[in-house]
């Protein structure tokens, strides 16, 4: 499995292209922009882009999806509780951001426990509300894409629409800290970490 990370826009949001080496199928997680670099990675690796997956519906994680979908024809996937936000530029905050207003349709809505397949890989959908109602983390073997739920030594904000502090804490403690300590954490902002490190050092989850 090949993971490529891109740090995008003024918001420094992380986007990941995850490719299956054997089949050349790939997914893109949280395209907050569509950059030339991202397009050339997809083209140079000869990837067939299957899905564009949002960990949640904030503008800094979704604003590049329209262009990518037009170029590569992939389906947009997000949790069912995030569909309205992705459609509404006010709620997804793109109306306040330095990008075009974003209003997108979700092609397939997701629920906790769903499995998304690409190539010979399986992505487990873990519903982790708290930063937003339909926030999800995506787990592929021992790699967790944690969106704006869990950051290195920190957690996502809970003061936006649908945010809830108690909920994010119980999502993280109940569904993420129970994963193997070896699980790598690829957050929506910041550097890579692991569940083991966060268990020891994250002040919000001790």
The b-or-e profile of 71-84 (16+ CB within 10 A means b, else e) is ebebebbbbbbbbb
Contact between 28 and 68 (Cβ < 8 Å): yes
**Nearest CB to Zn ion, comparing residues 58 and 184:** 58
Residue 122 Cβ vs Zn ion, minimum distance, rounded to whole Å: 25
Name the residue nearer to Zn ion (CB basis): 9 or 23. 9
Q: How many helices (H) and strands (E) does the chain have?
A: 6, 14
* CA dist., res. 17 & res. 38, Å (int): 8
How is residue 187 annotated by DSSP?
Answer: E
Token pair 């399986």 in the structure block, residue: 122
Judged by DSSP in three states, 120 sits in coil
Contacts to Zn ion by CB under 5 A: 13, 58, 60, 148, 188
Cβ closest to Zn ion, residue 20 vs residue 76? 76
Closest CB to Zn ion among residues 25, 198: 198
| Residue 70 C-beta: closest distance to Zn ion, Å | 23
- In angstroms, what is the minimal distance from the CB of 33 to Zn ion? 12
Q: Which is nearer to Zn ion, 23 or 101 (CB)?
A: 101
Name the minimum Å distance from CB 25 to Zn ion: 26
Residue 164 Cβ, how far from Zn ion at the closest point, in Å?
14
- DSSP readout, 55-115? SS--HHHHTTHHHHHHHH-PEEEEEGGGHHHHH-TTTTSGGGTTS-------SEEE-TT-E
């Amino acid at each position: 499995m090949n993971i490529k990370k891109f740090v995008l826009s003024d918001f420094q949001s992380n986007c990941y292209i995850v490719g299956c080496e054997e089949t050349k199928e790939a997914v893109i997680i949280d395209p907050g922009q569509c950059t030339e670099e991202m397009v050339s990675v997809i083209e140079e690796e000869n990837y067939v882009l299957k899905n564009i997956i949002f960990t949640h519906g904030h503008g800094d994680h979704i604003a590049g999806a329209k262009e990518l979908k037009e170029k590569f024809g992939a389906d947009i996937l997000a949790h069912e509780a995030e569909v309205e936000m992705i459609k509404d530029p006010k709620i997804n905050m793109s109306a306040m951001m330095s990008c075009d207003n974003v209003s997108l349709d979700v092609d397939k809505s997701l629920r906790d426990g769903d499995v998304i397949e690409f190539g010979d890989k399986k992505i487990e959908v873990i519903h982790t509300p708290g930063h937003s109602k339909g926030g999800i983390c995506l787990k592929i073997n021992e790699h967790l894409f944690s969106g704006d739920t869990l950051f290195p030594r920190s957690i996502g904000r809970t003061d936006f629409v649908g945010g809830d502090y108690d909920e994010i804490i119980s999502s993280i403690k109940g569904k993420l800290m129970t994963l193997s300590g070896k699980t790598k954490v690829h957050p929506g902002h910041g550097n890579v970490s692991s569940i083991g490190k966060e268990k020891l050092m994250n002040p919000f989850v001790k």
